[in-house]
Each structure stands twice: as C-alpha cells, then as structure tokens.
Amino acid sequence: MSRFCIDASFPATHRIRIDSKGTLEPLHAHNWRVRAWLDAQEETEGESLRKALAVLADWVSLHEAKCFNDIEPFERVNPTAEEVARVLAALLEEKVDGARVTSIEIGEAAGFSATYWPPSKP
C-alpha cells in the first residue's frame, strides 16, 4: 500500500448560503487550494496516480474562473470549503479505481482550510 498526494490551485468565486431561507452572501473570489491524499495498492499505484491527476485536472478546469454556485451540484449544495471537499472526495472515489481517498483539504482564504476524511469502507 502506498499513499500519494495530488494538489492544485485555481481562482473561482462563490456565494455561501448563510441561513435557512437561502440568503446568499455577496459574490466573492478566492484562490482555491486543493490537496488530496489517496491510498493505492502497489500493483496499481502508477495507474491510480495518473487517473487521479487527470480527474483533478478535469475538475479544476470545470471550476476555474467560474462561480461554484453555477455548477452542479453547487446549484443546490452550499459551496463551502467543507462541501467542496466532500464533493471532490466522492468524485475521486468514483473515478479512480484501485485507490481510496483518505482526505481532501480545501483552502479558500489565506490562513484557512477545511479537511474532509471520507468514512472508511467496510
């Protein structure tokens, strides 16, 4: 078993829903930072790493210089750093065979990041 880390950064905007009525804070930009750790079996680690890098690059290109709120699932999921981490973890788990996401860290502002640890699979 080996663990690898992939990362990226990109500019994007969002508006967080701040109450149960759906009130949105003002639109604002961040330079988002993404760091994902994955565990892979030794026999598939190279393939898993290449696939994870490709999935992350595609995901970044979908969000780069755009508003999270305009992109599925963030039209309905609050685009906080925590939720962005959960969504990205699920995507990597779905798309990268032979690897398991151990954590995703999302930073959206200097001095702040949120880390998500997906539940262990039985």
- Number of compact structural domains in the chain: 1
Domain membership of residue 55 (yes or no) is: yes
The single-letter code of the amino acid at 113 is S
In a domain, residue 107? The reply is yes
Task: Assess if residue 122 is contained within a domain.
Answer: no
Domain of 103 in residue numbering reads as 2-116
Average confidence score pLDDT of the chain? 94
Q: Summarize pLDDT for 56-108 with one digit per residue, the tens.
A: 999 999 999 999 999 999 999 999 999 999 999 999 999 999 899 999 999 99
CATH code for position 77: 3.30.479.10
Q: Percentage of the chain with pLDDT > 70?
A: 98
Position 38 scores a pLDDT of: 97
* pLDDT average, residue stretch 10-18: 97
Residue 70 lies in a domain: yes
Q: Is residue 121 part of a domain?
A: no
Contacts of 109-114 spanning 24+ positions with Cβ under 8 A: 109/30, 112/81, 113/33, 113/81, 114/80, 114/81, 114/82, 114/85
Model pTM greater than 0.85? yes
**Angle, nearest 10°, between helix axes 81-95 and 45-63?**
140
**Helix (H, G, I), strand (E, B), or coil: what is residue 40?**
strand
